[in-house]
Amino acid sequence: MKSFAYYSSPVGKIRITAGEHAVTDISFVEDEKSLPAGEPLPLLEQCVAQLREYFEAGRRVFDLPVEQAGTEFQQRAWRELRKIPYGQTICYEEQARRMGNVKAVRAVGMANGRNSLSIVVPCHRVVGKDGSLTGYASGLWRKQWLLEHERKTGNLIGAL
């Protein structure tokens, strides 16, 4: 059974979905009128608390059990995303290189686009080869805001 929670972030309402053992979706919600009420679960409360810390104090590392359905390639791409340090960016080609196949740039971009765990699996930290902001399902303005937020708070000492 899935449960839901919501968090009002500086860049919009976020819907968090969790099963019994893992967070399965963190996404921005555009239509707030159709938001169902969710059963409070400790895991959802923990996720909301960590997102709040990210936005308010620059939490650098998320410590949540997460799970999303995808191919083995997508799983590898998403694991690689979690290795990108807070406040830093890499390009899609670099992500493909780190995964062992520099020619898989387009496949990496497609996998990143299917990431259903926004912010916690930080696909917003992947940019074009020239440093341009490209490909963010929740809107490039949000990607820019998240990157600027991380740059501003990146000088905090220690990781929350």
Class of residue 77 by CB neighbours under 10 A (exposed 0-12, middle 13-18, buried 19+):
buried
Give the pair of three-digit tokens for residue 124: 């917003």
Residues that are catalytic: 123
**Tens digit of pLDDT at every position of the chain (160 positions):** 789 999 999 999 999 999 989 999 999 998 766 566 667 789 999 999 999 999 998 799 999 999 999 999 999 999 999 999 999 999 999 999 999 999 999 999 999 999 999 999 999 999 999 999 988 888 999 999 999 999 998 765 444 3
Predicted TM-score (pTM) of the model is: 0.89
Could you give the domains of the chain? 3-57 (3.30.160), 72-153 (1.10.10.10)
